[in-house]
Structure 1
Amino acid sequence: MNIIKFSAQFPVEKSCIEHFKAQRDACGVVCPKWGCVHPYWLQNKLCYECKQCHHRQSLRSGTVLENSKLPFMYWYAAMHLLTSTKKSYSAAELQRQLGHKRYQPIWEMVCKLRDVMGKRYNLYQLTDEVELDNAFIATLIAEEEKDKPLKRGIGSQRQPKAVVVNESSFVENPKPGKKPKRVNHLKMLVIEDLRADTISKTVNEHVNPKAELTTNDATPYSKLFEQVKSHHAQAIKKEDLPKTLPWVNIAIGNVKRLLLDVHHQLTNEYLQYYLNEFCYKFNRRYFGDA
């Protein structure tokens, strides 16, 4: 949906509320106290009231908007801007676009939306041909780490570690200049360390046991054969990466460029939210208006 269609469909706060209520009604509203599924709608209070116990719950209750005092229009505009662009919007830019005085509520709203994006793609596991590699993404040092000496290498406080996995399938007779594999879904997951047990646990949660996994022969990947149908681990030279692990490394390069270009003052604590947004858009790049 482009900005013109969005403005026509949601011109005012009332239109956003009516649309949001229609979505909630379609999913079914259940009383959290007695389980009543036929509540009254109180228009003047913007809440539902249970027919049995008269317990009330707001229209926002149980949704990503819960406990937020921002207008529905803000949420709809933020959802549109975050999902309709190839890149992203910083919270500061959204604050300017919405004309809000305070930065903190806008930043919290955006974090909630990015968190929901991650929960959406955690509902399924990757299968078929799966590529896996790790990434180091530069961020700011957390306040509690600033007084400590800066480490070098993979233990650096400025480079949190992430596992990057994606589904891919081989292409018969690829066209000149095209990749030998076609990419499907992608996941990026921040992890505490690169120990073999940590990597294995992550793969067990997010990769289907019937998948065929391809990685390099690094030590952290030594136990992955226990988690999947087959594990192809091989020493990969830098010049062979585009052939063996093409899409994983393209995704890593793209997300690093996005974070450097759009988002500043990024800390380890909130890195996963930004990776969620990148993967959400990547996995829906062919969805169009849907």
Structure 2
Amino acid sequence: MGRANGFLSFTETFPDEKSCIKYLEMLRWKNGVVSPFDKTSKVYKCKNNKYRCKNTGKYFDAKTGTVFANTKLPLRYWFYVMFLFLAHKRGVSSCQLARDLGITQKTAWNMLHKIRSYMSVFNNGELSGEIEIDETFVGGKNKNRHSDKKVENSQGRSFKDKVPVFGMIQRNGAMIAKVVSNTKSYTLEPHIKEHIETGSVIYTDGWDYGVLNKSYIQRSVDHGAHFYGTTFVSDDGEIIQISTNKIENAWSHLKRTIFGTYYKVSKKYMQRYVDEFVFRFNTRSCTDYERFDLYLQNIA
């Protein structure tokens, strides 16, 4: 966009409904308006920012077929919500959003979940080179619970009361993270094969992932033996850093985001919150405007 960062600048750029509609049209139809009902059809421009598909006779606008379709809220509200939501490093709760916009908490909650539903596309792809992988368990600590709410035998890798999440980070690159049913090798192997290029170097905490020795180069730390990593120079002059610090740091940020902003997330919606976190991580070098544009282009 090439504009100054910040919400005040954003409101000046999109002061009314028309400016938002025009911008969405520009992103969606860079080479001219195309009917969502028949791409080969001629299109007629009508009143109130609407268009008519000649072949089908149906009316449409820039919002048709997107998250904004059939909404009762103005597009300007959606733009404001998206910008605020994407600009905050740890997200925005539905309660806070409802107070800021003067809408109900239920409406704010639905808006945020619709926005998250479009983030999964950024939590895919293939990683290569040097990859750190690890699992984490998201949920409250047993020691912090009231005595009548404590869960027995929930220490270590037990996840009776927690949601397991498997993550992969390419050093100096992107992250992919998926909610999984358990941390067994047969559950994690398909994710590794799908998202990590064969022959890559994978850094682990020593957990058995099954497939690694056959298709990848594995280097591990051993936290149980208090070995957290080392750096050395190979015979070829390559600097090799054995650690899983990046993925562990990402898990720390994920948990602080959930506990600090959302307080509690159900297992049913955990993947959407993980997608949200991964999107922020993968766009960490973008400005607020660039992140907003990237997300909006995906919708358009």
TM-score in terms of structure 1 length: 0.81
Aligned twin of 2:263:
264
Aligned twin of 2:136:
135
Residues of 2 paired with 1:22 and 1:43: CA distance?
A: 18
Q: Displacement, 1:23? A: 1.6
Aligned twin of 1:111:
113
Equivalent pair of 1:29/1:38 in contact (CA under 8 Å): no
1:203-214 matches, cutoff 5 A = 203-214=192-203
Change (3 A) 1:230 1:68: farther
Identity %: 24
Aligned twin of 1:87:
90
Change (3 A) 1:20 1:43: farther
Residues of 2 paired with 1:260 and 1:62: CA distance?
A: 34
Equivalent pair of 1:36/1:50 in contact (CA under 8 Å): no
Aligned twin of 2:56:
53
Q: Deviations over 1:135-171 (max 9, x none)?
A: 000069xxxxxxxx86624443421000111011xxx
Equivalent pair of 2:20/2:79 in contact (CA under 8 Å): yes
Q: Deviations over 1:12-56 (max 9, x none)?
A: 222212211222222765444433254223333x43321222233
**What value does the CA root-mean-square deviation take over the aligned residues?**
2.6
Change (3 A) 1:27 1:189: farther
Q: Displacement, 1:7? A: 1.1
Equivalent pair of 2:43/2:52 in contact (CA under 8 Å): yes
1:69-80 matches, cutoff 5 A = 69-80=72-83
* Larger RCO (alpha carbons 8 Å, 6+ apart): 2
Q: Deviations over 1:248-284 (max 9, x none)?
A: 0111111111211111232111112222222211222
Secondary structure (helix, strand or coil) at the match of 1:125 reads coil
Change (3 A) 1:129 1:34: same
Equivalent pair of 1:28/1:37 in contact (CA under 8 Å): no
Equivalent pair of 1:21/1:59 in contact (CA under 8 Å): yes
1:201 aligns with 2:190: yes
TM-score in terms of structure 2 length: 0.79
Residues of 1 paired with 2:127 and 2:16: CA distance?
A: 40
Give the counterpart letter for 1:53 in structure 2. T
Q: Deviations over 1:102-138 (max 9, x none)?
A: 222221111121221221242x211110000000000
Residues of 1 paired with 2:109 and 2:51: CA distance?
A: 29
Give the counterpart letter for 1:131 in structure 2. E
1:152 aligns with 2:154: yes
1:231-246 matches, cutoff 5 A = 231-233=218-220, 235-236=222-223, 237-238=225-226, 240=228, 244-246=243-245
Equivalent pair of 2:38/2:56 in contact (CA under 8 Å): yes
Change (3 A) 1:285 1:37: farther
1:188 aligns with 2:181: no
Change (3 A) 1:223 1:7: same
Equivalent pair of 1:133/1:216 in contact (CA under 8 Å): yes
Give the counterpart letter for 1:185 in structure 2. A
1:214-253 matches, cutoff 5 A = 214-219=203-208, 221-226=209-214, 228-233=215-220, 235-236=222-223, 237-238=225-226, 240=228, 244-253=243-252
Secondary structure (helix, strand or coil) at the match of 1:240 reads coil
Residues of 2 paired with 1:69 and 1:27: CA distance?
A: 29
Aligned twin of 2:164:
161
Secondary structure (helix, strand or coil) at the match of 1:253 reads helix
